[in-house]
Amino acid sequence: MDQIADLLTRIKNSSAIGKYEITLPYSKMKEAILNILKAEGFIQSYEMVADKDNGKSTLTVIISRTKTPSHLKQISKPGRRVYAKNAEIPMPLRGLGTVVISTSKGVITGKEARKGGFGGELICEIW
């Protein structure tokens, strides 16, 4: 199962029905994406909870009530990866939206990648 698609779908569906707290399995990629969503104001906070009984960790995410994401779209999928050079990084909503990109420097926003001169794999777009 695609973990990034699961994360984006859970956030989109829960904010649509007014449920602002979700729990999902932990991964480092999800945590990096949640860091960006927190910096952009789409989520209030998240917390990693380690389960000592079975050794699996979970993430508890609290979605922002003031700035809920109206559009979450996964760009790179397991069957088709999408890469972009520095000059080719898209600007959703003419710069008002956010693109999450995986670079050699980690998972960052499209604005940071353009500013730093990095290219990489386009993960998702949010506004």
The per-residue pLDDT for range 77-87, each reduced to its tens digit, is 999 999 999 99
Tell me the helix, strand and coil percentages in the chain, rounded to 5.
35, 35, 30
Mean pLDDT over the full length of the chain: 95
From CA 14, how far away is CA 8, in angstroms rounded? 10
Domains of the chain with bracketed CATH? 3-63 (3.30.1370.30), 72-126 (3.30.1490.10)
pLDDT at 51: 87
Give pTM, 2 decimals. 0.94
Rounded to an integer, the average pLDDT of 116-122 is 97
Could you identify the residue written with the tokens 């956010």? 98
pLDDT at 52: 83
Alpha carbon distances (Å) from 72 to 6, 39, 50, 98, 113: 11, 16, 28, 10, 20
Alpha carbon distances (Å) from 63 to 22, 23, 94: 8, 11, 25
**Long-range contacts for 74-79 (Cβ within 8 Å, ≥24 apart)?**
74/2, 74/4, 74/5, 74/8, 74/123, 74/124, 75/99, 75/122, 75/123, 75/124, 75/125, 76/121, 76/122, 76/123, 76/124, 77/2, 77/5, 78/2
pLDDT at 79: 94
The per-residue pLDDT for range 15-68, each reduced to its tens digit, is 999 999 999 999 999 999 999 999 999 999 999 999 888 889 999 999 999 998
Rounded to an integer, the average pLDDT of 101-115 is 97
